[in-house]
């Protein structure tokens, strides 16, 4: 019995020690840095990037993730930018955002998680080229919110976007650019985009397959007509656009370009305030190809009572 008791006591000590290690294993982040080792990290304080130059978008990047298997808890804190001398900490608005990238995930890494915080006043909020990403509960104040190249099997949830460019000619958006990759989910992406120098799209899916966009709320208030809230282009197929609420002041709501096929567009509410020759729904494929447009609401405030769709034969 004494030997058994000794073994049990030793086991309890080991388990207690393991528990202490687990509780203390997260690594604090106190400054902008390159994260080159796998592990769990958390922001101990707000991060303020000391911009190297006040030039638009050229002030540097804050967090760079160059290792796989990294978890970053932003801990409700903010990543922002301070202008270099002789300017005060807040950069003059006419410069536009001087920060380059808030969080950059280097190409080739895998299994990255980012959650629970804010990134403010960067040209690009988060950029990534990776697999198995998780981004949740993040507010992005940037010109472009999420820039994703060849991203696969990833989840983005509760992403709130605000434009960062307050210069004389503002250009804010897109909220999301997905170029290549596929099998990603985007849930509860929200924000407003606008421009008087171009037509940024709210959400762009380019040459990417089998993605889900669900529960987005996008408003576009561009001063020039011609943009789109959700654009599916460049042979993007098998994408599902479901239960989104979209408004465009002078442009289209959802557009599927020619060559993008077998996309499923279901139960979206799209309202535009545009000339009669601009439509809330556009499918560039002849007879909509093999796309499915089911149980959506498409309306134009300037053409009351009409279904704002081109072609209307797509609507089911």
Residue 184 phi/psi, 5-degree rounding, is -115, 155
User: What b/e string do you get for 260-279 counting C-beta neighbours within 10 Å, with b at 16 or more?
Assistant: bbebebbebbbbbebeeebb
Average pLDDT of every residue of the chain: 89
User: What was the pLDDT predicted at 138?
Assistant: 98
Residue with tokens 């279901």: 266
Record the tokens describing residue 23, joined without a space. Answer: 């509780």
On the question of pLDDT at 306 being above 90, the answer is: no
**Rounded to whole angstroms, how far apart are CA atoms 259 and 232?**
10
**Rounded to whole angstroms, how far apart are CA atoms 79 and 53?**
17
Record the tokens describing residue 232, joined without a space. Answer: 């599916």
Q: Is 234 helix (H, G, I), strand (E, B) or coil?
A: coil
**Across 175-179, average pLDDT:** 97
User: What was the pLDDT predicted at 272?
Assistant: 93
- Structure confidence by residue, pLDDT tens digits, 253-291: 999 999 999 999 999 999 999 888 889 999 999 989 899
Q: Which fold has domain 38-314?
A: Pectate Lyase C-like (2.160.20)
**Rounded to whole angstroms, how far apart are CA atoms 106 and 64?**
7
Residue 18 banded pLDDT, cuts 50, 70, 90:
very low
Lowest mean pLDDT among 140-154, 172-186, 220-234: 220-234
Residue 17 banded pLDDT, cuts 50, 70, 90:
very low
User: What was the pLDDT predicted at 7?
Assistant: 43
On the question of pLDDT at 136 being above 90, the answer is: yes
**Rounded to whole angstroms, how far apart are CA atoms 195 and 136?**
27
User: What was the pLDDT predicted at 130?
Assistant: 95
Q: What is the pTM of this model?
A: 0.90
**Rounded to whole angstroms, how far apart are CA atoms 221 and 223?**
6
**Across 193-202, average pLDDT:** 80
User: What was the pLDDT predicted at 89?
Assistant: 66
**Rounded to whole angstroms, how far apart are CA atoms 156 and 191?**
14
User: What was the pLDDT predicted at 3?
Assistant: 53
Q: When comparing pLDDT for 197 and 41, which is higher?
A: 41
């Amino acid at each position: 019995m004494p030997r058994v008791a000794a073994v049990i006591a030793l086991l309890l000590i080991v388990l207690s020690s393991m528990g202490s290690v687990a509780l203390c294993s997260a690594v604090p982040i106190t400054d902008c840095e390159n994260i080159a080792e796998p592990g769990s990290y958390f922001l101990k304080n707000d991060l303020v990037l000391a911009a190297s130059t006040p030039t638009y978008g050229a002030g540097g990047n804050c967090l760079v993730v160059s290792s796989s298997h990294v978890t970053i808890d932003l801990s409700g804190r903010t990543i922002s930018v301070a202008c270099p001398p002789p300017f005060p900490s807040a950069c003059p608005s006419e410069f536009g955002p001087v920060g380059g990238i808030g969080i950059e995930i280097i190409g080739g890494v895998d299994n990255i998680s980012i959650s629970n915080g804010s990134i403010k006043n960067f040209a690009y909020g988060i950029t990534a080229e990776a697999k198995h990403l998780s981004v949740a509960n993040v507010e992005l104040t940037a010109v472009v919110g999420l820039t994703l190249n060849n991203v696969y099997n990833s989840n983005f949830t509760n992403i709130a976007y605000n434009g960062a460019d307050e210069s004389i000619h503002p250009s804010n958006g897109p909220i999301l650019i997905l170029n290549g990759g596929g099998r990603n989910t985007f849930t509860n992406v929200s924000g407003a985009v606008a421009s008087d120098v171009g037509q940024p799209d709210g959400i762009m899916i380019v040459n990417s397959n089998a993605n889900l966009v669900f529960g987005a709320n996008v408003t576009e208030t561009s001063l020039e007509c011609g943009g789109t809230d959700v654009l599916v282009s460049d042979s993007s197929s098998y994408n599902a656009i479901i239960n989104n609420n979209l408004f465009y002041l002078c442009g289209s709501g959802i557009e599927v370009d020619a060559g993008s096929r077998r996309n499923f567009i279901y139960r979206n509410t799209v309202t535009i305030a545009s000339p009669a020759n601009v439509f809330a729904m556009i499918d560039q494929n002849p007879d909509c190809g093999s796309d499915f447009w089911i149980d959506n609401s498409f309306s134009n405030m300037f053409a009351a009572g009409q279904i704002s769709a081109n072609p209307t034969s797509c609507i089911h």
